[in-house]
Amino acid sequence: MIIMVSKNYLVLITLVCGVLAGAVVFWNLNRQTETETETEKEPEIDLSTKEGLLVVLKDAGQEEDYENFAKYLKMVYQKQWDGDKDFVGIESAFYMKITENYFDKGDTDKALEISTIIYDEVPQGWRFRYLRIRCLEKLGRDAFNQEDLAKAEEYAMTILYMMYRPEGANLLADIYIRKIEADLAANDKISALNNLNYIWDYEVSPDRRQKLEELKLQTEQPI
């Protein structure tokens, strides 16, 4: 009976040792695999160099990763590399891609979303600033044609808050011409004059200036 117990203990000890040995081998293999994987990883890209920044900016553009494209483009402008032909090429190609794939195909909201993301980071970059202005004008014209003058004015003023652009000024003029005409039709010359005074000093196209002058004459006539 004592011999049988001793043999059982020996078997148990052997099994335990085997399991421990297997665990050690598995751990070593797993560790070796992790080490090899870490060794195989590509080295980190140095964003302080033109070469490194070119790589990440190009990749972000190809993947339509708007946030990272904006982030890396901001770095380009901060380093004053925006005039470098390679960076100009990448920015221009991405601008054309977004314009053709979204704005030109009628998805103005998406084009506005993307251009705003980039404009917010790089307001000095003219390409996406211009695309944002085009989007805002298009949405403003749509609202104007639907008689939503408040919304149309919001888009026009967003453009003008960015910078003076004829797209914004002319849209605003059309809105106020419509308002003045409605005021005059209702014999409300006080409101007509107030609206005329508001828009009068804006630099607008010659045809709109002529229309405003005609309306001014009407506000001076007695009811």
User: Residue 104 is which amino acid?
Assistant: D
DSSP code string of 110-129: HHHHHHHHHHHH-TT-HHHH
Q: pLDDT by residue (tens digit) across 123-137?
A: 999 999 999 999 999
Q: pLDDT by residue (tens digit) across 166-181?
A: 999 999 999 999 999 9
Q: pLDDT by residue (tens digit) across 2-58?
A: 444 455 555 455 554 554 555 444 445 455 555 444 444 556 888 889 999 999 999
Say which DSSP state 100 is in: I
The pLDDT of residue 222 is above 90: no
Joined together, the tokens standing for residue 208 give 């709109």
C-alpha to C-alpha distance for 215 and 19, rounded to whole angstroms: 96
Q: pLDDT by residue (tens digit) across 139-148?
A: 999 999 999 9
The pLDDT of residue 99 is above 70: yes
- Indicate the pTM of the whole model: 0.80
